[in-house]
Amino acid sequence: MVRGSLPWPIHRGRMRLDVPLDLALSLSCGQAFRWCARPDSGFRGVLGGTVVDVWQRGPREVHWESGPQELPKEAMADYLRLDDDLDAIRRAIGDWRVDAAFSLYPGLRLLRQEPWETLISYVVSQMSNVARISRTVETLAANFGTQLGDGVSNAFPTPAQLSQASVGSLRLMGLGYRAPHLFEIANAIADGQVFLEPMREMTFGEARRCLMELPGVGPKVADCTLLFGMGHMEAFPVDRWVARAVVEWYLGGEQIPQERIARWSREHFGAHAGYASQYLFHARRVGGAACPTPAGGMVDGMVDGMVGGMVGGMVGGTHVPAAQDDTGPDGA
């Protein structure tokens, strides 16, 4: 870590771990878009309205420096979802492919993010990739968020701040057709027409319906917001990588609509379907078409023909896309 590189009095934190955590993988695997890898193996981001440099020292220690405000240990543990029992979750999912992915990528955790930033980040994510999404989110923060005092970092803009933007200015940031969606969502929340926090306590179905009433929010964006920003663990976001994993490894290669994939996966993986989605996403994106195996390796062509037969004849909707070079989230 570049010690003392923040311009304020630095608040230092340290946490001993008694649970598995792969900090680098959890921060860089496409859930959140404001963590930047540092040359010395740490990450810099903005969390809780403060700039944070964080790094892992071995499997059992996490260290961080924050400023201008202190980031408490409780806030860091909450963000990293250290209260999630990964062993219990993998047992509850009860699927050998997901279990194998847990063994391949131990310590990969979902992040407990703030709903507003998560929603806007995933509206931005449509038809894009992780690097481009990160640049766009940082541009929004730089232009509309509160400066945090280091001359570089800004907090993510509040709904009120983003509502002051014009559609034209948002288009100039490369948002294209998404610009009016961001403008309308920001104004609806700033004006008190929509409230995100109560959606945490709604049922998954109720919260999903509410989110999908917002402009530019389809099933994928809603599911990402529900999982990463609202703690609805049964949400199963389906992007191209997850779709390929499910189709190739479970459904015998049968091309079916992404919404049907999400519905089948919620039923198959159960209350922790969101964790299954994240592990399948990473396994397919990094490991390619080879399926994770219980021995900890990868095998080509492992599919469940019986499950494939169960979904035969499904038609309509947005189908699983053909292979592309783009590596990030896609679709509404």
- The CATH number given to whatever domain includes residue 34 is 3.30.310.40
Tally of domains within the chain: 3
CATH of the domain at 275: 1.10.1670
**Residue that has been written with the tokens 């403060």 in this structure:** 50
- Residue ending a domain, choose from 83, 105, 130: 83
Is the domain of 175 the same as that of 247? no
Distance in angstroms (rounded) separating the CA atoms of residues 209 and 147: 35
Is the domain of 222 the same as that of 123? yes
3-state SS class at 162? helix
Other Cβ atoms closer than 10 A to 236: 27
Distance in angstroms (rounded) separating the CA atoms of residues 3 and 212: 44
61's enclosing H/E stretch is strand 61-67
pLDDT tens digits for range 106-129: 999 999 999 999 999 999 998 778
Residue 115 contacts residue 230 (beta carbons within 8 Å) = yes
Q: Which amino acid is at 52?
A: V
Question: What is the reported pTM?
Answer: 0.88
Contacts of 153 (CB under 8 A, 6+ apart): 44, 46, 51, 141, 147
3-state SS class at 209? helix
Residue 299 contacts residue 293 (beta carbons within 8 Å) = yes
pLDDT per residue of the chain (332 residues) written in tens, 0 to 9: 344 566 677 899 999 999 999 999 999 999 999 999 988 889 999 998 899 999 999 999 999 999 989 999 999 999 999 999 999 999 999 999 999 999 999 999 999 999 999 999 999 998 778 889 999 999 999 999 999 977 789 999 999 999 999 999 999 999 999 999 999 999 999 999 999 999 999 999 999 999 999 999 999 999 999 999 999 999 999 999 999 999 999 999 988 999 999 999 999 999 999 999 999 999 999 988 778 887 656 665 444 443 443 343 333 334 343 333 344 445 45
pLDDT tens digits for range 156-199: 999 999 999 999 999 999 999 999 999 999 999 999 999 999 99
Burial class (CB in 10 A: 0-12, 13-18, 19+), 318: middle
Please name every residue paired with 292 in a beta bridge, in sequence order, or none if there are none.
298
Encoded tokens for 23: 């900090």
Answer yes or no: is 226 within a domain. yes
Distance in angstroms (rounded) separating the CA atoms of residues 80 and 122: 19
Answer yes or no: is 317 within a domain. no
Peptide bond into 215 cis (omega under 30): no
Distance in angstroms (rounded) separating the CA atoms of residues 15 and 77: 8
Residue 27 contacts residue 35 (beta carbons within 8 Å) = yes
Residue 298 contacts residue 291 (beta carbons within 8 Å) = yes
CATH of the domain at 193: 1.10.340.30
3-state SS class at 43? strand
